[in-house]
């Protein structure tokens, strides 16, 4: 079983859409270890965007009411998150897509970040980046943090209206493989996710 941890350069970067694409492409299982904000669970969104009958949505280890950083959301409910709380769910041999919360340095508690969780779970990271003013800096800083932590990185996925200049400098400075470019789609449905799932394999084994 391969484990891929989806993290990003910030919040609302498109991690859930990326997770759906990867889950569909790899016929993988999906797991969101920490859900903060329960109006719309990410596992429900991913499940609604799949066309396959193989993927299993594993329940969250923690599910908090407040839409906030995990360390804050957990404090609201008098819960202290520890890395030892997490165990990889059992699968039927499927790969596992693990979706993080927020960006690479989002705190789980006073000491540990979301990147520490990826390390404890032994997962390979896929970094999601966006195109906006300042995203080069945010992407490179995120990469340097992952590198400092000795995280294995599968590659990077860009999300949003393409900026060739930003993309080229990020790839040149990180040496990462661009696994996929996602356009700013108006509406996501299972058939669109499937189209991107097919495109993913153009660079998956690069």
Q: What domains can you pick out in the chain, each with its CATH number?
A: 3-200 (3.40.50.300)
Predicted pLDDT of residue 39: 83
Q: Measure the CA dihedral 39/43/49/52, to 10°.
A: -150
The answer to whether residue 38 scores a pLDDT higher than 90 is no
| pLDDT at residue 40 is higher than 90 | no
Q: What is the DSSP string of 2-70?
A: -EEEEEESSTTSSHHHHHHHHHHHHT-EEE-SEEE--SS-HHHHHHHT---SS--EEPPSEEESS-S-H
Summarize pLDDT for 151-160 with one digit per residue, the tens: 999 999 999 9
Helix extents (H) in 40-189: 42-48, 70-76, 114-120, 135-148, 164-174
CB 118 within 8 A of CB 150: no
> Active site includes 32?
yes
Residues 121 and 3 sit within 8 Å (Cβ to Cβ): yes
Mean pLDDT over the full length of the chain: 96
Instruction: Give 76-134 pLDDT, tens digit per residue.
Output: 999 999 999 999 999 998 999 999 999 999 999 999 999 999 999 999 999 999 999 99
Confidence (pTM): 0.96
pLDDT 10s digits, 169-196: 999 999 999 999 999 999 999 999 999 9
Catalytic residue selected from 3, 15, 32, 154: 32
């Amino acid at each position: 079983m391969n484990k891929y941890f989806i993290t990003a350069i910030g919040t609302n970067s498109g991690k859930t859409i990326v997770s759906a694409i990867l889950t569909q492409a790899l016929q993988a299982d999906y797991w969101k270890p920490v859900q903060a904000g329960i109006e719309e669970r990410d596992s429900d969104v991913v499940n609604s965007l799949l066309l396959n009958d193989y993927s299993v949505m594993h329940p969250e280890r923690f599910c908090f009411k407040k839409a906030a950083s995990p360390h804050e959301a957990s404090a609201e409910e008098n819960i202290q998150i520890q890395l030892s709380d997490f165990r990889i769910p059992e699968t039927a041999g499927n790969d596992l897509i693990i979706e993080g919360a927020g960006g690479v340095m989002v705190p789980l508690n006073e000491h540990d970040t979301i990147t520490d969780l990826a390390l404890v779970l032994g997962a390979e990271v896929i970094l999601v980046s966006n195109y906006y003013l300042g995203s080069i800096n945010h992407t490179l800083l995120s990469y340097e943090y992952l590198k400092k932590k000795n995280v294995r990185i599968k590659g990077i996925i860009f999300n949003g209206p393409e900026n060739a200049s930003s993309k080229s400098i990020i790839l040149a400075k990180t040496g990462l493989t661009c696994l996929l470019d996602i356009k700013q789609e108006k509406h996501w449905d299972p058939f669109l996710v499937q189209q991107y799932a097919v495109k993913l394999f153009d660079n998956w084994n690069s």
